[in-house]
Amino acid sequence: MNADASLISHFDALLLDLDGVIYIGPHAIGHAVSACARARSEGLALAFVTNNASRPPAMVAEHLRELGIEASEHDVVNASQAAARVIADRLPPGSPVLAIGGPGVRAALIDRGFVPVDSADPTPAAVMMGYGPDVGWKDLAEASYAVQAGALFVATNPDTSFPTPRGMAPGNGTLVAAVVAATGCQPIVAGKPYRPLIVESIERVGSTRPLMIGDRLDTDIEAAHNANIDSLLVMTGVTSVRDILLATPQHRPTYIAPDLRGLFMPLDQACVANDPVPSMCAPLLTAAAAAWARADAGQDPCADVDVAALESLVSAGLTR
Ligand SMILES: [Mg+2]
């Protein structure tokens, strides 16, 4: 790779996580709107990739446009669509599928030619479970009966909780765990950190050189590893400097940048693997590479690292 060229020039598509990368709640993250526009102007395809299975893609696209980001329904890939794809790989169109969750679950099944049903009698060919605020005990019981009777068991995403204004609330992973506890059967999971959502996104944009961009090591970055593609971690979401230093191999990103402006920096300023040149991020990249090498050698990854100094460097980078 040419280290003088920008990071983005090595890819043909960006697979973008939303929360913590593009927006936090109703507000766009700094430089996200301009970075998306610039990436499009440089010819890259953009896919907005979300584990949230309850909001239909059209609604997500509308939110993005409100923030000033060019996006159509086609550009949004959610975990319901990936789960429907998992079923389509195994069962013929027209098969009845027990649909548990919000309207996004039924919509994705219908798009793939399946027939959503709401009962385990007669036994459906598959069960697809996604989050929905109206999912109740009766739904979980129907799912359990169908799974016990041999239906293919597929979950949209494994997220155990999600933030609300009143605190953390149970996510789809928690609902799925009830059915797992009742039946002893494990589902195939479509969303991050598993492969199907990434594979669906790559196919959607027809990419041969995709870059996954996210703010979480245990979802976005691990998903990139599972799909064998490169990843960029941005520091605008939930991951701290310490999290990076302590990351296990499947949680280590290919690149790190304070925010999406890192896409347009020369590769060696945003890169972990190359020798970083002085930049606002270079000390963090150097520290991460050294910490991971120490961890792999069975040593303390954080030995002699001034974590507070690195954190203030990242903060300074974000406010520039
Ligand atoms: Mg995120």
Once rounded to an integer, what is the mean pLDDT over residues 250-275?
77
pLDDT at 70: 97
CA of 28 to the centre of ligand 1 (A): 13
Would you say residue 53 has pLDDT above 70? Answer: yes
> What CA–CA distance (Å, rounded) separates 94 from 101?
20
CA 102 to chain centre: 19
Pull the structure tokens for residue 27: 């507000």
Closest CA to 124 of 164, 153, 160: 153
pLDDT given at position 163: 79
The answer to the question of residue 13 being in a domain is yes
Is residue 60 a part of any domain in this protein?
no
Length, in residues, of the chain = 320
Kindly tell me if the per-residue pLDDT of 28 is higher than 70. Answer: yes
Ligand 1: centre distance to CA 213 (Å): 9
Is the pLDDT score of 273 beyond 80? no
Between CA 157 and CA 176 the distance in angstroms is: 9
Indicate if 315 and 198 belong to the same structural domain: yes
Same domain assignment for residues 174 and 235 = no
- What percentage of the chain carries pLDDT values higher than 90? 76
Does 303 reside within a domain? yes
Ligand 1 center to 37 CA (angstroms): 20
Quick one: tokens of 170?
């149970």
Catalytic (active site) residue 243: no
pLDDT band at 2 (very low <50, low <70, confident <90, very high): low
> Which residue in 4, 17, 75, 111 is the catalytic one?
17
Instruction: Examine the domain organization and report whether 33 and 146 are in the same domain.
Output: no
For residue 226, tell me if it sits in a domain. Answer: yes
The rounded Å distance from CA 135 to ligand 1 centre is 24
Determine the structural domain holding residue 270 and report its residue range: 7-51+194-319
Rounded to the nearest angstrom, the distance between the alpha carbon of 216 and the centre of ligand 1 is 6
Residue 10, pLDDT > 90, answer yes
Residue 267 has pLDDT above 80, yes or no: no
Q: Distance of CA 276 to CAs 132, 145, 270, Å?
A: 45, 56, 8
Q: Give a yes or no: residue 302 inside a domain.
A: yes
Q: How many CA atoms lie within 13 A of 53 on its CB side?
A: 35
Residue 296's Cα: distance from chain center in Å?
A: 26
pLDDT at 279 over 50: no
Distance 139 CA to ligand 1 centre (A): 28
CATH number at residue 287: 3.40.50.1000
Give yes or no: residues 181 and 244 share one domain.
no
d(CA 124, CA 121): 7
Residues 228-259: tens digit of each pLDDT: 999 999 999 989 999 999 999 999 999 898 89
Asked about 19 being catalytic, the answer comes back as yes
Q: Which residue has the tokens 């400097």?
A: 241
Residues 158 and 254 in one domain: no
Choice among 4, 12, 19, 159 that is catalytic: 19
User: How does the average pLDDT of the chain come out, rounded?
Assistant: 91
pLDDT mean over 287-313? 89
CA distance 238 to 49: 17
| Reported confidence tier of residue 165, pLDDT bands at 50, 70, 90 | confident
User: Quick check: 46 and 40 in contact, CB under 8 A?
Assistant: yes
pLDDT band per the 50, 70, 90 thresholds, residue 275: very low
- What spacing in Å lies between the alpha carbon of 91 and ligand 1's midpoint? 31
How many domains is the chain partitioned into structurally?
2
